Each structure stands twice: as C-alpha cells, then as structure tokens.
A and B are shown apart, each in its own frame.
Chain A
Amino acid sequence: MTNNKSDLIIAIFLLCFSGIMINDASNIRDLGFEGMKADAWPRVVLWMLVVMSSVMLGKSYFQFKTENHKDNSTFKINFSKFKNALLCFGMFIFFLSTLDYLGMLLGGIVFVFGLLTLLGGFSMKLGIKHLSISVLSIGFMWMVFTFGLRVMLPEGEILRVW
C-alpha cells in the first residue's frame, strides 16, 4: 500500500468519524446556563478535524492521481508485515476476555506464556524457558502490586472457587 493510497483511505475514514461525532454532538444536553455550551468546544475541534482531513484528502488524492498513471498495481495490504502485532492484539483480547475467570495472576501467566510462544516459537527447551519467564515475571509483579502497593488485582473465578 503506497503512502498516498493509505492517506486517502485514512482521510476518508477521518471524515466519516468526524461526521458521526458531529452528529452525536447534537445529542449533548443543553442545560440552558449562560456561557459556553457543553457541545461548543467539541464541535470546534471536530470541524477543525474535518478541515484538516479534507486538506489531507485533497493532497493525497492529487498525488495519488499523478502516481496512478505510472502505478497500476492493485490495492493490497501486506498482512504478514503486521503478523506479530495482530498476534499481540489477539492475545490481549483473549487476556481481557478471560480476566474475570482466570484473574490477573493466572491470566497474566497464560498471556505472557502464549505471547512468548507465538512470537518466539515452540520447542521443549523454549517452552520450559517461556513458562519460567511467565511464572516468575507475573508472580513477581502480582506480589509487588498485591502486597507492596496493596492493589486488589482481579482474583478470577477459578482461584476464588479454590
């Protein structure tokens, strides 16, 4: 994906986003007090965003049009480039979704072990290494926050049952 193509898409996305938010700004309640209304400042910011996104759209469109004569390649996103980032997103969503059941201690260990294995590969030796790292690091942090800083980290249903 060339820069101008991605800029074009982002500019359109930003315009849609601004449009939705400007529309939602009309739902902000007016309490009838004097002075600046609650929707005034966000509207100013969003309209400025519309202007800047339009500038970006125009700029990238004209550059894209000029480039398009030379470059007729189809629109492609190289997902392999984002593989590791997508793995991190996936693992993090899994971690957050299971936090109520696994809790911060178990969930954290599963998250770190899973991510280490996905990013670093798997073999018996690596598996043991990754497991030790995840248990030691999360165990240490859990102890620091629970006993040192007195933070009540989510216990999780599994540990609560035990």
Chain B
Amino acid sequence: MFDIILQAGASVLLDPLTLGLMAIGTLAGLLAGAIPGFTIAMGVILTLPFTFGMSPIQGLATMMGVFVGGLSGGLMSGMLTGIPGTPSSVATTFDGFPMVRAGKPGLALGLGLWSSFFGGMISAVILVALAPQLAFLGLEFGPWDYFSLIIFALTITVSLSGDNMVKGLIAGLLGLFAACVGEDEINGVARFAFGSDYIRQGFAFLPVLIGLFAFSQLLSDVEDSRKAKAPLMAKTADPVRVEHRKAIALVIRNWINLFRSSFIGIFTGILPAAGGSISNILAYDQAKKAAKNRDEFGKGAVDGIIAPESANNATAGGALIMMMALGIPGDIVTAVMLGALMIHNIIPGPSFIQDEPMLAYGVFIAFFAAHFFMVGLQAFSLRLFLLVTKIPMYVLASVILAYCAIGVFALHNITFDIWVMFGFGVIGYFMRKLGFPLAPMILGVVLGKLAELNIARAIGTSDDYFLFLTRPWSLFFLLMAIVSILFPFYQNASKDSLFSKIYVPISMMVLSFPLFLMGSPVRMIIAAILLLTGSFLIYKRTVSFKTI
C-alpha cells in the first residue's frame, strides 16, 4: 500500500511535465474561478480537449489543478470587487469585501487563501483515508443497489437544483434519454438513429457536455449587447500584497471553525450533486451561529472568511471520495472528471482503487499538490486576473466558441461531434432561458448508460423485481431518494406545520430500517441511534405541536 502511494507520488511529483501541466491547470482554474460568468465546471470542461493526448495521470492532474484553482479563484473577485467569481465563493464576499473596504485587502486575501489551503488539506487526508474504505463498502453492492444509488443521485440533484422540481425531473429524464440514443450496450441494437450512421454511434459525452454547459453559458453571457461590449468588470482593483504570516496565524487560531467548516464541506461534497455553492453558505451560517461576536459578521469578521473558503475547497475532496469510490459524481465538476476518465477508457467504481491503484493514488496526490500550486500562483494570477478583466465578454466568448469547436473535433476527428455540440448548445441555452436546471440533465447523460446497464444486469440475474425493495442497500438508496424528493417541500413548509416538524425525525426512523436489515453490528448501532433520535424528536415535536 505504502509503496503504491510512493510510486504514485513519484509519477506526479517527480515528473516535470506533469508538474508543469498542473501549474498551468491551476493558473487557468484560478482565472476561470475569478472571472464572473465563468464557472469551475466550464474551466474543467474546456481543459478536457487538451488532455486527450496526455497520459491519464497527466490529464487528471491537469484537471485537478483547474478544479482546485477554480475553487480558490472565486475569492479574488469576490473580495476585491464584491462580485463573486463562482457560486462557491458567494459567502466569502459577505465578510471579505467589507474587510477589503476597511483597508485590509492583504489580510482578507491571505485569510481566504490559507483557509482554502487548510480546508483542502483536511479534505485530502479524509479522501485518502475514506475513499478506499467506501470503495470496500461499494463491493457489497449488486446491480439492484447500484441502480437505486443512481436514482438517488438523480433525485437529490433535482431537489437541490432549483425551485421547480418538475422542470428538474424533466431535465434529468432528457439527460437519460440522450444517453439512450445510439447502439445499446447490451444487445448492440441501434436506437433512435433515424437511419443516420453518425447517430447510430450515439452522442459522445464531451460534445454534449461542452454544448450544454459551456456553449449555452457563453451565449447567455453575450445576450445583453451593452454588457457584452463593456469590460468584464466595471470595478477594478489594484494589485495587493498578501499578508501570509498574519493570515496563517489567524486561521490556525480559529481551528475549531476551520475543522467544522471543512467537515461541512466534505459532507456536502459526498452528497451527490451538492457542491461548493451550498457548502460555503452552510459553513458561513454555522460559523455565525457558533460565534461569540455575531454582530461582526457582515462587517469583515475573520471567521466569516475562514468558514466559506475552507468549506468550498473541502467540498472538492468530498466529491472526489464519491467519484473515486463508487463512480458516482458528487457535482458537475466531478461528472466531467468521470467523463475524462471514460475518455481514457477507465471506469471508476468500487474496484477502481484496487484495479488502478497508481492512477487512484496519483489523483489523490495531485489533489494535495494542486493546493500548493494554488498558494504559490495566487499572486501571479491576481495580476493576470486584473489584466483579463479589462477584456470585453464578446471577445472572450467569440474566441472560446471557436476553441470549443476545435476541442470537440479533436475527440474523434469528425465534424458530426461539432454539430452535436452545437445542437446541445442550443438546447442548453433555451433550457436556461426557460428555467430548466442543467445539472440534472448532465448527470442524466453521465449516469444514463450506467443505470441501464445495472437494471439490465439486475433483471438478467433474477426476475424477482422485489429485490429492489428487499436488498438493504437498494432499499436504503430508494428511501433516500424519497427523502430527497420531499426535501424541497420541507424547505418551503412553514416552520409551525406538522410536515416541517416530522420530516427530519420520520426520515431518520425510516432510514434506520434498511440499516437494521444489513445485520453488521456497527450499522445496527447506527440504525438504533437513528431510530431513537427520530423517536425522541417526534415525541418532543408532536407534544409541542399539540400544545400550540
């Protein structure tokens, strides 16, 4: 085990080309994260075509750099101009911007930078420790359990992706349908090809993804002619000297907040579809609730910067745990990573870490190393960021649209892929305009084939459909899917309603049932804790409900 980690470490850290690619990736990520209108996912998607010619470890290390850089890049624009670069740095602006306005830009940036670093480091340790264990757990899964896990991943994406759940479900179903087009994996029969040999091959993952996400985003960015012609940011900032020593001391002094926020980030990342955009606000909220000086929040509180920044970087580690251990993407970025692995003919799953230990541990080490690059390149990227923000959006969008076409062509050397990207770009643009969330559709495209393969295996193994309900893991995930579908109703319900009072305890009690069925002592203890806590809460809340 230890020698594999050493070998994987050497393949990443002792190869100058891999290190150079990671540095470029991190810089690109820092910029993509800093520019409002660009997202981390877009940065990773646009990096993907460059990785075709690289070895899997080089490609993944480059994308890991973009991922980590992107998470930290958002803080630059958020703090210096008050406009968050990415949704994962929204809460950073609450206290970062006031601190900058109070004349402490160096300290604000330093706090953000080092909180991101330490949050990432904590999640990297958890990633290395937890992913192999979770993968071990995943070996218990049969096709029934996998299918139910995919259903859970899709439903939680839908419930977290917007106000309109029906539109989210439709988007997810459209994604699943897009994955059905072309030859089916089991029988090799053409489906929905309408006589076209190109469609018979199915839609490649990359053109669909670039079209849905990057192409449609760029069209939205140039929609307003006046805004498109203006420089990217009206507000400009001056280069700042980051106060590293003071920031490190403050982050270490507030270690409880750092650890709490990092664990919130990791947990949010492990949940399928819940990414940094949620974790940074959750961590900020918890830090505020736990703080003695709550009044300082919103005025430049140190804890108000540490919490969201450590949480959003830790989310990356959490999302990677799910992807590496079970092959289920934690968010859109890891969905792209999954696609990148598939392009290199590697399919993550429970046996991935055992089958490809060099690659798996190489990814873990790249995640570690990318945080060091992020710290080292922040000052340089800040200067670049200030230059890039002077460019109007229509210039960037035109050039990137052409780049998308070249990048997509590079996948299979066929023009049809560019047409697919264009088609899905148009669909993605109108879906955005009509209020359909894109995340469920992307997850549907990524997981569609896997879902079909598993349900086919399940039916092929046994014609007993009740196995989906009688196998403990499958039942657990299906119940989780129901709980996640009801979550938006819980969020919208009034605090005094019966539903809002019983949702959490009933969910706990219901989820304890499949855990009891699993039989192992640890899981039965967890189930008992869930059941007892749920019963206690329901008793307490119904008593108070009757009193009202």
A-side interface residues toward B, CB under 8 Å?
3, 6-7, 10, 14, 21, 24-25, 28-29, 31, 33-39, 41-42, 45-46, 48-49, 52-53, 55-56, 59, 81-85, 88-89, 92-93, 95-96, 99-100, 104, 108, 111-112, 115-116, 119-121, 133-134, 137-138, 141-142, 144-145, 148-154
Contact = CB atoms under 8 A, between A and B. Distances in A.
Contacts of A88: 218-219, 222, 401
Contacts, number: 168
B429 A49 contact: no
Contacts of B223: 81-82, 84-85
Nearest to A92: B422
Given A24-B192, A137-B402, A10 B186 contact: no
Contacts of A21: 177, 192
Given A119-B222, A120-B394, A149-B50, A45 B166 contact: no
Contacts of A38: 184, 186-187, 189, 191
Given A3-B435, A92-B422, A112-B402, A84 B222 contact: yes
Contacts of A83: 225
B422 A49 contact: no
A153 B284 CA distance: 48
Interface residue SS majority, chain B: helix
A99 B455 CA distance: 42
Interface in B185-220: 186-187, 189-192, 194, 218-220
B186 A36 contact: yes
A132 to B, nearest CB: 11
Nearest to B414: A154
Given A31-B187, A151-B52, 13 more contacts: A6-B434, A35-B186, A36-B455, A38-B191, A41-B184, A42-B177, A84-B219, A92-B405, A115-B398, A120-B229, A133-B399, A137-B402, A153-B406
Contacts of A142: 406
B176 interface: yes
Contacts of A33: 187
B415 A99 contact: yes
6 contacts: A7-B434, A45-B177, A49-B170, A84-B222, A96-B419, A133-B395
A141 B412 CA distance: 18
A41 B410 contact: no
B191 A28 contact: yes
Given A88-B401, A99-B415, A52 B406 contact: no
A62 to B, nearest CB: 13
B66 interface: no
A115 B50 CA distance: 24
Interface in B30-65: 50, 52-53
